[in-house]
Structure formats: structure tokens, C-alpha cells
């Protein structure tokens, strides 16, 4: 089943790649992670520390052609809990979830640790769900949700980054992740980051979906590894435990 889920994620990337090429079928099925031409989706910005967090986007300018690089598949709640535990989240942390889906990671971080958190997603449906989740859990004073392309973000203010993307998308984020302050933590559900050695890789069995899961932990500054760079991204889970 786990392999099936990963296959679905990968197929979804290919599907999005095809969908993006509808106007030019001859170019169909280029990898959807070719994201460089995406324009930024602007929403209400500002320092999370000073924000009036009402989670309403006042200045949204969404470019129609923007598509997610990977479809929404939620992280089971018990895996979310473990990700935040592995990242050693504290009240003074600022947690970012890059591709926040329904907002469960940022909502959990705020509820459990009382920290500030920002969820970013490119899909307006996900942003809507996240905002509802924030409201339902009364964490609007701590959590902000923004509709943005994660590949346009300045991550330097974050102290914890949560990821559930795909191996190549994790790799594509490396230049942004290198801007994190020393000691910042990155946790990734199921997928590694080619060329960067994790500090920890744990496996756990989720009681929610009855499937095995893996969580990677990296600490800033990232430890680039030649040996790792030689590895195939699809073999990311062969890291030493
Ligand atoms: C596999 S889901 C993970 C959701 C959530 N982080 C979780 O673990 O439950 C990936 C999310 O990333 C979002 N996404 C994909 N490409 C994106 C991009 N370029 N910028 C922002 N969000 C993106 C999708 O819309 C989707 O909600």
C-alpha cells in the first residue's frame, strides 16, 4: 500500500506535467517539477511575529496556470506528531509547512507546542481547508496560512521546516534551505534529499493508516555529502539509520 501511495504521488506529478502542457500536446508529459517559470502568488505577507493573524488573504493575485507539483496526500496524525517531536519543536520556534495541505502540521504545532507556524500551499482549495482547520482549532493567533509557491519563499526566518513532497522537490528546495539559521531543523515525511545527509531517519508504523512511514531529520547547516549525491533519489530510504 505504501508503495502504491508513493506511485500515486509520482503519477500525479506526471499527470500535472501533462495537464500543464495542454496547449501544446507535442510537449506533453514534461516533468511537473520544472517550476522555474512560475510566478509568485502574492497574498497577505508580513512578519508572523507582528501579524494580525486573521488568515484572510487581502491581496491575492493568483496566476491561473499555477498547479501543485504534487497532489495532496495528508500525513497521518500520528506521523505528524512524530515529525514535530523529532524536530524538537519548542514554543519559541517558527514552523513552516511547505505545501501545507489541510494545515494539520501547523495547527498541531500551535496546539501542542504553542509556537507560531505558517502553512504555505499553492492550491486555493488547500488554503481554504487550512483556514477552516485553523479556525476550528482556535489557533488563528498563532498560525498563518498563505497561498504561495514554495519555491519563491524566503525561509530564513523559519526555525523548523516540515516537508511532505517528493525527493526531487526536496532537492530543488536546497538553495532555500541553505538560508536557514544554524540549528534550524527540517523534517520530511517519507522522502529524503539527494546529496544531503540526514541526522536521523526513523521508521514508524502508523496506527491511522496501518502503514509504515519514514521521517528524515536534517539540521542547519545542511551536511552535503558527495556519497549521498551519487545516490539515486529513488533510493533515498537506503540511508543509514
Ligand atoms: C503530499 S501533500 C502534503 C500536505 C501536508 N504537508 C501534510 O503533510 O499533510 C503536498 C502539498 O503540497 C502542495 N504543493 C504542491 N506544489 C506546491 C508548490 N509549488 N507550492 C506550494 N504548495 C505546493 C499541494 O497542494 C499539497 O497540498
Q: What ranges do the domains of the chain cover?
A: 2-65, 77-240
- CA atoms of 51 and 239, how far apart (whole Å): 40
Mean pLDDT, the chain, whole residue set: 79
- Tell me the three cell numbers of residue 88: 524538537
Cβ 172 under 6 angstroms from ligand 1? no
Position 226 confidence tier, pLDDT thresholds 50, 70, 90: low
8 Å CB contact between 208 and 230:
no
Confidence of residue 43 (pLDDT cuts 50, 70, 90): very low
The residue whose CA is least distant from atom 23 of ligand 1 is 99
Rounded distance between C-alpha atoms, residue 66 and residue 80, angstroms: 27
Closest CA to 231 of 190, 188, 192, 194: 194
All three cell numbers of 173, joined, read: 528546495
Span from the CA of 98 to the centroid of ligand 1 (angstroms): 6
Band (pLDDT 50/70/90 cuts) for residue 230 is low
73 lines ligand 1 (CB under 6 A): yes
User: Which atom of ligand 1 approaches the CA of 80 most closely?
Assistant: 8
pLDDT over 60 at 239, yes or no: no
Query: Could you tell me the three cell numbers for 51?
Result: 501579524
Does residue 71 surpass a pLDDT of 90?
yes
Q: Say if domain 77-240 classifies as CATH 3.30.70.1150.
A: no
Predicted local confidence at residue 128, as pLDDT: 98
pLDDT at site 65: 52
Q: Which of 15, 99, 187 to mutate to test the pocket of ligand 1 (most atoms within 8 A of CB)?
A: 99
Say how many Å lie between the CA of residue 217 and the centre of ligand 1: 19
Instruction: Give the per-residue pLDDT at 66.
Output: 85
pLDDT band at residue 198 under the 50/70/90 scheme: very high
Encode 55-82: b = buried (16+ Cβ within 10 Å), e = exposed: bebeeeebeeebbbbbebebbbeebbeb
pTM for the predicted model, two decimal places? 0.77
Whether residue 204 is predicted with pLDDT greater than 50 in this model: the reply is: yes
pLDDT score recorded for residue 224: 86
- Is the pLDDT at 113 greater than 80, yes or no? yes
Nearest-CA neighbor of 192 among 182, 176, 203, 184?
A: 203
Confidence grade of residue 51 (pLDDT, cut at 50, 70, 90): very low
Amino acid at each position: 500500500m505504501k508503495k502504491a501511495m508513493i506511485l500515486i504521488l509520482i503519477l500525479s506529478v506526471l499527470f500535472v506535467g501533462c495537464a500543464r502542457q495542454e496547449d501544446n500536446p507535442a510537449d506533453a508529459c514534461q516533468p511537473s517539477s520544472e517550476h522555474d517559470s512560475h510566478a509568485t502568488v502574492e497574498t497577505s505577507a508580513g512578519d508572523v511575529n507582528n501579524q494580525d493573524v486573521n488568515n484572510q488573504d487581502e491581496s491575492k493575485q493568483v496566476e491561473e496556470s499555477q498547479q501543485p507539483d504534487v497532489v495532496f496526500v495528508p500525513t497521518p496524525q500520528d506521523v505528524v506528531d512524530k515529525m514535530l517531536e523529532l524536530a524538537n519543536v519548542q514554543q519559541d520556534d517558527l514552523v513552516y509547512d511547505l505545501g501545507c495541505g489541510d494545515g494539520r502540521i501547523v495547527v498541531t504545532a500551535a496546539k501542542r507546542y504553542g509556537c507560531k507556524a505558517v502553512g504555505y500551499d499553492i492550491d486555493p482549495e488547500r488554503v481554504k481547508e487550512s483556514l477552516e482547520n485553523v479556525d476550528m482549532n482556535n489557533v488563528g493567533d498563532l498560525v498563518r496560512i498563505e497561498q504561495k509557491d514554495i519555491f519563491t519563499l524566503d525561509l530564513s526566518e523559519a526555525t523548523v521546516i516540515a516537508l511532505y513532497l517528493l525527493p526531487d522537490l526536496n532537492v530543488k528546495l536546497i538553495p532555500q534551505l541553505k538560508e536557514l539559521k544554524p540549528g534550524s531543523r527540517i523534517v520530511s515525511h517519507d522522502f529524503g534529499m539527494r546529496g544531503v545527509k540526514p541526522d536521523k531517519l526513523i521508521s514508524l508504523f502508523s496506527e491511522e493508516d496501518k502503514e509504515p512511514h519514514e521521517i528524515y531529520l536534517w539540521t542547519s547547516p545542511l551536511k552535503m555529502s558527495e556519497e549521498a549525491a551519487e545516490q539515486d533519489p529513488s533510493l533515498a530510504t537506503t540511508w543509514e539509520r
